[in-house]
Amino acid sequence: MAELKQSPLAAEHEALGASFTEFGGWQMPLKYSSELSEHRAVREAAGLFDLSHMGRCGQSDRTPRNS
């Protein structure tokens, strides 16, 4: 089996106690605690979904063109 890719946020997910699963060749966080406590946290505060495995972005040093 090929080694799973990791999100740039993998270390942060691990530090926060996430359990991981394989998703499309990526090691992704599945949950941090119980589903009920996560549901309550999102309802009472906010939730965040790591999208870094869904696309790529790049940066170049080219000067932007004027319109």
Neighbours of 10 (CB within 10 A): 19
Q: DSSP readout, 12-54?
A: HHHHTT-EEEEETTEEEEEESS-HHHHHHHHHHS------TTS
pTM tops 0.75, yes or no? no
pLDDT one digit per residue (tens) for the chain, 67 residues:
689 999 889 999 999 999 999 988 999 999 988 999 989 988 999 888 888 778 777 777 777 666 5
**Bridge partner residues of 28 (DSSP):** 21
